[in-house]
Chains A and B, each alone.
Chain A
Amino acid sequence: MLKEFFSSRNHVIFTGIFIGISAAFLQKLGNPPNMGICVACMERDIAGALGLHQAEVVQYIRPEIIGFVFGSLIAALIFKEFKARSGSNPLIRFVLGFFAMIGALVFLGCPWRTLLRLAGGDGNALFGLVGLVVGIWIGIFFIKSGYNLGRNQRTHPLVGWIMPIMMVGLLLLLIFQPQLPSGAVFFSSKGPGAQHAPIFISLVVAIVIGFFAQRTRFCTIAAIRDLILIKDTYLFTGIISLLLAALASNLILKQFHPGFQGQPIAHSYQLWNFGGMVLAGLAFTLAGGCPGRQLFLSGEGDADAAIFVIGMIVGAGFSHNFATASSPKGPGLWGAASVIAGLIICIIVGFSMSDLGKKRMEVKR
């Protein structure tokens, strides 16, 4: 009975509404503007806190990321869905995670923040949204052409516990904030990295989101993908609920500021808002889910999803060190080049791992 309730449409609508309201309130409580929740940005901040990049304004261990994994883990354990599994082309998943982050940081947001930026009145996010849909659409082309990263295998439970244990480590670093001679742990004293809601509130809200998202299979990429690919509106109603709930909350909290110029943590170079999200959308689709979903899967024992998350965190470090990430002033020095390179690599992956590439391999043999 309970299981049926959780997979019902009402529940995914409730999950979307809860995420939308939570994001607006986390912003009110201190998180950066239009960034109440942004999986990519928050993983980027964690990369900074660990010293994987030196961008001083975006370094913080975001408890939301930790909470997402914990919440999903708790739900998976309660409902007996925790299954350690791995081995479905992990290195490809790492590369996809890496480039998903490169693309997201050119736009300045993941699919979650795309919706939240729209809900805050940021018109630039429209170009990101269109890019996201185009990226997903390219991914669907490969899926229809037989794209497949192969089956995962059941493995020792320890493997499934690695990501949750890593999150415990991050939580300890966040709570005790050790100061080592190198300067680690790095926490921003100004900029978005210095803006955050109280740790306990962020953690609890994220655990609740992780719990419900694991039950409802909430995924911003699958929402659009399934609508186009199999005409299923289940998850799509979830993201529409998220958007509307965040919009209503922002109106009430006076956080809605419509326009294109001067939007917080955003730029108006529309070609690269679009291009960055084409890359991110394609990479997420080829990996089977949005960055939030990858965290939820990590929490239920999917080590391939965990590798994708680690790819994203490493990608964030690279992105700031090699000037591919954008800033409110516009794309970084290598932003455009990195999007083009990422698209070429993701298309090669899509081609190689589908029937298009496999047929060719057979002919060669």
Chain B
Amino acid sequence: MNQRIDVRGLSCPLPVVNVRNILLEIKNGILEVLVDTGTSKDNITRMAINIGWKVEIKEEGDEYLLTISK
């Protein structure tokens, strides 16, 4: 079962900080992130790639599902 986190509606920088904390804790595996703004999608993607994770972005209506894996 993949871990999943919903960061919709949160102000900067909470989406990226919350996701980063989980990635640093689990070290590897798959994390699904539900995001509602382009800013959070970009910030989380950049942060995850910077610390060595892969990111897959899927648009769901006007929201995004990011699948972050290592």
Contacts and interface: CB of A to CB of B under 8 A. Distances in A.
Interface in B4-60: 8-14, 16-17, 20, 36-39, 42-43, 46-47, 50
Given A7-B42, A217-B39, A217-B43, A232 B11 contact: no
Given A79-B38, A217-B42, A230 B8 contact: no
Given A80-B62, A83-B62, A230 B11 contact: no
Contacts of B36: 83, 154
Of the listed residues B11, B20, B37, B46, the one surrounded by the most CB atoms of chain A closer than 10 A to its CB is B11
B13 to A, nearest CB: 6
A219 B42 CA distance: 14
A253 interface: no
A152 interface: yes
Interface of B: 8-14, 16-17, 20, 36-39, 42-43, 46-47, 50, 62
Interface in A208-265: 217, 219, 222, 225-226, 229-232, 234
A234 B50 CA distance: 11
B43 to A, nearest CB: 7
Contact of B46 (A88, A232, A304): A232
Interface stretch (A24-32, A34-42, A143-151): A143-151
A288 interface: yes
Nearest to B45: A7
Which applies to chain B's interface (DSSP): helix, strand, loop or mixed? helix
Contacts of A222: 12-13
Nearest to B36: A83
B62 A143 contact: no
A189 interface: no
A347 to B, nearest CB: 19
B13 A229 contact: yes
Q: Which 6 A-B pairs have the closest CB atoms?
A: A151-B9, A288-B11, A288-B12, A152-B9, A7-B42, A81-B38
B46 to A, nearest CB: 6
Contacts of B37: 81, 83
A88 B9 contact: yes
A177 interface: no
A153 interface: yes
Nearest to B14: A148
B22 to A, nearest CB: 13
Nearest to A82: B62
Interface string A290-324: 00000000000000100000000000000000000
7 contacts: A80-B62, A81-B38, A217-B39, A217-B42, A217-B43, A229-B17, A232-B50
Contacts of A152: 9, 11
B44 to A, nearest CB: 11
Contacts of B38: 79, 81
Contacts of A234: 46
A85 interface: yes
A152 B14 CA distance: 13
Contact of A151 (B10, B13, B20, B46): B10
Contacts of B14: 143, 148
A248 to B, nearest CB: 28
A20 interface: no
A232 B47 contact: yes
A289 interface: yes
Given A83-B62, A229-B17, A230-B47, A151 B8 contact: yes
Contacts of B16: 230
A231 B24 CA distance: 14
Given A80-B62, A81-B37, A83-B37, A230 B9 contact: no
Nearest to B6: A151
A48 B63 CA distance: 40
A88 to B, nearest CB: 6
A69 B46 CA distance: 26
A167 to B, nearest CB: 21
Interface in A77-95: 79-81, 83, 85, 88
A287 B39 CA distance: 16
